[in-house]
Chains A and B, each alone.
Chain A
Amino acid sequence: MILTSIIVLGALGFVFAALLALAADYFAVAVDPRVSAIIAIVPGANCGACGAGGCHDFAERVAKGEIAVSGCVVGGAEVAKKIAEIMGTAGFTVHKRVAAVHCGADNGQRWRKANYYGVKSCKNADLVASGGLMCSYGCLGYGDCFCVCAFDAIKMVNGLPQIDPEKCTACGKCVTACPRAIISLRPYDFPVRVACSSHDGPAATRKNCPVGCIACKICEKTVPDVFKVVDNLAVIDYTKTGVDCGPAIVKCPTKCILQGGKNEQK
């Protein structure tokens, strides 16, 4: 009895081991060595900001050439350089991007038509009479962007998000979190932003906000290369790098064109 049990169990174990060994060989998946090398480099946050479903998927698609080597927004230039070395396309530059808030009205300048006592979240406030604000485009100030930022790059200062360009990785989570879509991504080395999102006409904007864009087109006249007023709102053409925007910033009557940079103001 002991002998048969030992033999049967041993034989079963042997058969399974042999099967597994054969299967491991037969079903072996040829993994691109570049994929595992890229996985070792990327941050591994699985944030999905690159458009792929996680870091593993990103690495596979980079190896296939579907995504650019600079696709990892969280890793930034450093990671892109290393991936470029792995992929054999070294020697190109990556343009870092950071988030920019297109509203400049903090708690003091944010005029109200009603008081909102609901859940302290922008998403909820936006649903109820535009959160009690006069402006239906501007920042609501409950910090939904601040809550989703995984990199500690957003600070709420007097009810307005302040981006730290050094910490920001342009993952885009705040861009989607904002119910009013007032956050977008700008090039890191072009530290100018229009701090207003209002498409209201000049008179309406004047009535709603002390620091809104009133579409006076002064910026368009002073720095015509960069600024253009579209649909009652100044828009910056971020492809025109190296143009001095200083005159427009100084001349803007409502001071809604802001200099960004190391310590982004407001």
Chain B
Amino acid sequence: MELFGIFFAAFLINNILLIRFIALCSFFGVSTKIDTSVGMSLAVIFVMTISSAVSWLIFHAILVPFHLEFLRTATFILTIAALVQLEELYLKKMIPTLYRAMGIYLPLITTNCAILAVAFLAIDYRYNFVQSMVYSLGVSCGYSLAIILFAYIRERMALAPIPKWFQGYPIAFITAALMSLAFLGFTGMFGL
């Protein structure tokens, strides 16, 4: 039940894109088409879960014993960058179809702030290993939900008669703001 709570808190109530406003660059960048947003979502779910697990291990196994908690930014960036590279190499060899489906998004994700944020937040919340895994899964699913919904709306908007001065990013920002307001409605669900 506690894990369930963690998952839904990350998934809906504290949605990383619409409530925390983290990783907005990819939110606006790859949401013009449903296909690309699905590919990006899959890649984010994959990378975020693995990278937060590895970051958690490195933080608790290396940085805490040496009292080097202040080094976590540098360490996590190093870890995530190396990990994404490794995953890319692995996928290319072992699962070429998956690599082709999300290959171009993997390098993009290396510098995605959401991945780093989740690694930090899982430690700030003092989650144990299982909890932090569930948390990062929840966050990445929340990311997917928000970006795919947004892509559906943007595809419809591309055909809508929008005034010239609102076309493109202005209307996208307004839409994102409205979606964010809608997601505020989840506050208080499950007593969270």
Contacts and interface: CB of A to CB of B under 8 A. Distances in A.
Tell whether A and B belong to one assembly.
Answer: yes
B78 A9 contact: yes
B71 interface: yes
Given A8-B66, A20-B86, A28 B93 contact: yes
Interface string B49-82: 0000000001000110011100100110011001
Contacts of B92: 27, 29
Contacts of A4: 66, 68
B85 A20 contact: yes
A16 B79 contact: yes
Nearest to A25: B89
Nearest to B93: A27
B173 interface: no
Contacts of B58: 12
Interface residues of A, number: 16
Contacts of B71: 5, 8-9
A23 B83 CA distance: 11
B66 A9 contact: no
Category for how many chain B residues contact A: 10 to 19
Contact of B82 (A8, A19, A27, A29): A19
Contacts of A230: none
B90 interface: yes
A16 B82 contact: yes
- Determine the main DSSP class of A at the interface with B: helix
A16 B78 CA distance: 8
Contacts of A16: 78-79, 82
B86 to A, nearest CB: 5
Interface in B79-113: 79, 82, 85-86, 89-90, 92-94
Contacts of A24: 89
A20 B71 CA distance: 22
Contacts of B74: 9
A19 B68 contact: no
A5 B66 CA distance: 8
Nearest to A4: B66
A13 interface: yes
A20 to B, nearest CB: 6
A19 B62 contact: no
B68 A5 contact: yes
Question: Closest 6 interchain pairs by CB?
Answer: A16-B82, A27-B93, A27-B89, A23-B89, A5-B68, A4-B66
Given A20-B85, A20-B86, 8 more contacts: A4-B66, A5-B66, A8-B62, A9-B71, A13-B78, A16-B78, A16-B82, A27-B90
13 contacts: A8-B63, A8-B66, A12-B78, A12-B79, A16-B78, A16-B82, A19-B86, A20-B85, A20-B86, A24-B89, A27-B89, A27-B92, A29-B92
Interface of A: 1, 4-5, 8-9, 12-13, 16-17, 19-20, 23-24, 27-29
Interface of B: 58, 62-63, 66-68, 71, 74-75, 78-79, 82, 85-86, 89-90, 92-94
